[in-house]
Amino acid sequence: MFEGLPEGSLQERQVVDVKVSMFGVLPAQPYRMEFIAFDPKNLTFTSNEVGMGIKHWQHRLCIVPRANGAELIDEIEIEAGWRTGMVAAWARFMYARRHGPRVRMLAVQSAYGVWGV
């Protein structure tokens, strides 16, 4: 669960300081996200993230328009020292849980012809 996410579109080189609570249960901790590459035309972004004992979390997201919708590709590199396995398990859980809502959002975007497919 993120606290303090900004409204509106992302910007390249934008730095966002938020608080994150693991599973929405543990106390929220400071977390920093820097959007190092953002290409709205090609529907991609790359972020570097740190906080909560995570030394390196690089997230690459790409949306690939398809004739019958879109494919969402998340690639994540995690380095959290001895916590890496636990953090990777949390990431798998978190991304699996939010995959359904993201797929529904992409279906709506595709249905309105946002990508010209």
Q: Are 3 and 19 in contact (CB under 8 A)?
A: yes
Q: Give me the pLDDT at residue 57, please.
A: 96
Instruction: Report pLDDT digits (tens) over 54-70.
Output: 999 999 999 888 887 77
**DSSP class of residue 26?**
S
Cα 36 off chain centre by = 13
Tally Cβ neighbours within 10 Å of residue 64.
14
Kindly state the tokens that stand for 93: 């859980």
Q: Is the dihedral of CA 51, 18, 39, 90 positive or negative?
A: positive
Instruction: Report pLDDT digits (tens) over 21-53.
Output: 876 778 889 999 999 998 888 889 999 999 988
Confidence band of 113 (pLDDT split at 50, 70, 90): low
